[in-house]
Amino acid sequence: MAIAEKTHNQGQAGHGDGQGEFKDQVIYVGRVTKVVKGGKNFSFSALVVVGDGRGKVGFGLGKALEVPSAIKKGIESAKRNMIKVPVTPNASIPHPITGNFGSGSVLMKPAPEGTGIIAGAAVRAIMEAVGINNVLTKSLGSSNPHNVVRATFQGLESLMDPYTVSVNRGLDQAEA
């Protein structure tokens, strides 16, 4: 299925830090069939990414009997499971990283200003939602959207900003 994109106002207190709008993108919608005694029951699952474009991003999976309901549940789940990602001043990642989940693996490298997002559909949606505009990525192994999204998030969670690294090493900011 195609990737859809919407922007929502953040109307609920308690989600995020009150900075306004979240951009959500539907990465995958799947139809699930359960075979029962009387026939087949159809339902839908939606994989959704939500981000504020300033370093906060989350993903969620929603399941329902109708597509809009599944997407809504996925958005709610994504807002509850947001992570903070360090973004450099040139809208890239601080260092190269590889994220792994299951048999899926995603390699991410920082890129100079003006490069753009070099990525597949699922990883591109995540990078746009988080606010990273210059990055090189390569998806290795499984092409299952669920594995690719989870591998990307595992890599993004492992990123460390230069300030944290210098503090952990006991360096002065001038040395870093």
User: Do 105 and 77 share a structural domain?
Assistant: no
Q: CATH number for the domain including 37?
A: 3.30.160.20
| Tens-place pLDDT, residues 86-129 | 999 999 999 999 999 999 999 999 999 999 999 999 999 999 99
Where in the sequence is the domain holding 121, given as residue range(s)?
A: 97-165
Residues 79 and 51 both lie in one domain: yes
**CA–CA dist 38, 16 (Å, integer):** 45
Same domain? For 122 and 151 the reply is yes
Task: Give domain status of residue 174, yes or no.
Answer: no
Angle of helix 145-158 relative to helix 121-130, nearest 10 degrees, comes to: 40
Angle, CA 75 vertex, CA 74 and CA 77 arms, to 5°: 65
pTM assigned to the model:
0.83
Whole-angstrom distance, CA of residue 49 vs CA of residue 4: 10
User: Residue 6 above 90 pLDDT?
Assistant: no
Strands 21-36 and 117-118: unpaired
CATH number at residue 157: 3.30.230.10
* Of 63, 84, 105, the domain-final residue: 84
Closest CA to 65 of 35, 31, 27: 31
Structural contact between residues 60 and 25, judged by C-beta atoms closer than 8 angstroms: no
155 & 127 share domain: yes
pLDDT band at 147 (very low <50, low <70, confident <90, very high): very high
Q: Provide the pLDDT for residue 173.
A: 66
Q: What is the number of domains present in the chain?
A: 2
Tens digits of per-residue pLDDT, 69-88? 999 999 999 999 999 999 99
